[in-house]
Chain A
Amino acid sequence: MNMTAQDDGYITADGRKIGPVMMEMKNITLRFGGVKAITDISFDIREGEIRAIIGPNGAGKSSMLNVISGFYVPQEGEVWYKGAKRPPMKPFQVARQGIARTFQNIALFEGMSVLDNVMTGRLNYMKTNMFQQGLWFGKAQREEVENRESVEKIIDFLEIQSIRKTPVSRLPYGLKKRVELARALAAEPTLLLLDEPMAGMNVEEKEDMSRFILDVNDEFGTTIALIEHDMGVVMDLSDRVVVMDYGKKIGDGSPDEVRNNQDVIDAYLGVAHD
């Protein structure tokens, strides 16, 4: 696999086309009081890529995802998105730029059904004003139908038809993770951020989730950045991997390169050897 920074991208071993850099983090430093969660980290994410962020507990992975999605504001560094430096932004503004995410601890609307949860992912596609909607005018109705259709497609895609009407609070953990992914996908994001999408899942659920992630990337061309602890999954899924430890970047490259990086091996002590 060719990793050199050719600006218009590269072709992966399995024939997928990876485009130019879409998101670039430049010298990001994030502190919480005295704690340095991220220290001077730079890396990029290319169009169409599946990019993994790995590292031991407390390494700063979630913090990095939160910086990308605007939930945390770094003290130093720049975020470049689609060729332009991003001004400081609120999370909702980042979301409106086409960046969707899931959370390590799952943030769903517990009081709503699966369908309603996924529908919220389409809020920014609803354009008619509230009076038209309130009176259910033709345009509002058409819009609602269109949004419903695209949501139903995602629900089919993630194979959660059978729980469409179920209140989210009644679902087991694994399915909640899937619903959260569905909601993120409903926004038709250009960049999808997944914080430990397979945490707490059994082998079968993990296989399903891996398949969904690959399919999303393949069928919708969605760029994906994900955090994952399961090394096997990471090596299978990702095109490139960033490794963090104690807030620092200690490795960046293809799964093979990272696996053979001595700093990474030290940080993981054997996990990378399998």
Chain B
Amino acid sequence: MPEQFYWGLEAAFNGLMTGVLYALVALGFVLIYKASGIFNYAQGVMALFAAMTLVGIMEGQVPFSHLINATFGTEVHHFGWHLPAVLGILLTVGVMILFAWVVQKVVFKHLIGQEPIILFMATIGLAYFMEGLGDLMWGSDIKTLKVGLPQGTNMWLDETTYRLFGYGFFINNLDIVATVIAIALVAALVMFSQYTKQGRAMRAVADDHQAALSVGINLNFIWVLVWSLAGFVALVAGVMWGASSGVQFSLSLIALKALPVLMLGGFTSIPGAIVGGLIIGVGEKLFEFIVGPMVGGATENWFAYVLALIFLVFRPQGLFGDKIIERV
């Protein structure tokens, strides 16, 4: 086998991790969109906010310390503790649930029955608000996230593949762990929506609000639930991204990459979000590897969008999305 082939394969593997991240963010979009018809622009910022909160809690940072110090002339910054990752994650999940509840209570409860574009605008507002809130609570500096995920090249894979093919694959441990976690998360979500009372109610709400009400489902509760789930998915995405590149503003921009993923996978399909994420993650790495050198590189910036555009033309409902049939 030519070296070129192995390099390409390696590039594809490395794209998996990015793909998993895209998929997770897209998954958050799908959850909320299916249940409420809201296109949540803030999903990426939620990932950033969740990761910042996790770091802040684990490091024992005092939230709003800048504000507190400026107002009262105090000098508080740290509680002086370091929490283990598990506890930090649990507390952050709590924060995300609280956030979901507040968003529903303060914003979307008052916008029931409004046009989708108005709901969308509300989420843009929400995104900028959260960005500011995150900075105000935890400071805007770049943070490192240490939750004990393994880093570095997987030596075992490197050596094994070298022995087998004469070429050692460089695969990052973090990529492997992230992929496994993402698979587990999706499996758990599917189990939840298929076999639990709340999951069934969630599917019912996603299908028909009126019918859901008539069988006694509390829509508000379900909406808080899906925002909480989306918050949890955002946290997982934030942790993975944060562990590999640090917790910083660029994290919120992966949400923009989730858009083409949704075009590919369909806005209402959970498997679509996963497959779409992986296709784009792997596709853009491969494309950069193969075509990049010919056109001077930097294809990763636009590849996803062009692919999505092509999809829009030929299959507007995406790979797995519900077929759009205009009723006349």
Interface residues of A (CB under 8 A from B): 69, 71, 90-93, 95-96, 100-101, 103, 107-112, 116, 119-121, 123-124, 126, 128, 130, 133-134, 136, 183-184, 187
A108 touches B208 (CB 8 A): yes
Q: Do residues B218 and A108 form an inter-chain contact, with CB atoms below 8 A?
A: no
Query: With A and B bound together, what is the CA distance between A183 and B204 in angstroms?
Result: 12
A104 smallest CB distance to B (angstroms): 11
Hey, which chain B residues are within 8 Å of A91, CB to CB?
A: 213-214
- Is the CB of B136 closer than 8 A to any CB of chain A? no
Which residue from B213, B216, B218 sits with its C-beta under 8 Å from A71?
Answer: B213
Bound form: Cα–Cα A69–B196 in Å: 26
Q: Are B195 and A120 in contact (CB under 8 A)?
A: no
- Say yes or no for B207: interface residue by CB 8 A criterion: yes
Counting residue pairs across A and B whose Cβ atoms lie within 8 Å, the total is 83
List residues of B whose CB falls within 8 A of some A CB: 188, 191-192, 195-201, 203-204, 206-208, 210-219, 322
Contact between chains at B196 and A96 (CB < 8 Å): no
Query: A95 contacts B214, CB within 8 Å?
Result: yes
**10 A–B contacts from the bound complex (CB under 8 Å):** A69-B214, A107-B208, A107-B210, A110-B208, A116-B200, A120-B201, A120-B212, A123-B216, A128-B197, A134-B196
Return A173 CB to nearest CB of chain B, in Å: 15
Of B191, B198, B200, B216, the most chain A CB neighbours within 10 A belong to B216
* Distance of A111 Cα from B210 Cα, bound (Å): 14
Query: Given the complex of chains A and B, what is the CA–CA distance between A130 and B198 in angstroms?
Result: 7
Looking at the assembled complex, report how far the CB atom of B122 sits from the nearest CB atom of chain A, in whole angstroms: 22
Please give, as numbers and ranges, the residues of chain B lying within 8 Å of A126 by CB-CB distance: 197
B219 to chain A, nearest CB (A): 7
Given contacts A119-B200, A133-B195, A134-B195, contact A103 B207 (CB under 8 A): no
- Contact between B213 and A123, CB atoms less than 8 A apart: no
Q: Which of B200, B210, B219, B322 is close to A120, meaning CB atoms less than 8 Å apart? A: B200
Known A92-B213, A96-B216, A107-B210; 18 more pairs at CB < 8 Å: A95-B214, A95-B215, A100-B214, A101-B214, A107-B208, A111-B207, A112-B207, A120-B217, A123-B197, A123-B200, A123-B215, A123-B217, A124-B215, A126-B197, A133-B196, A134-B188, A134-B191, A134-B192
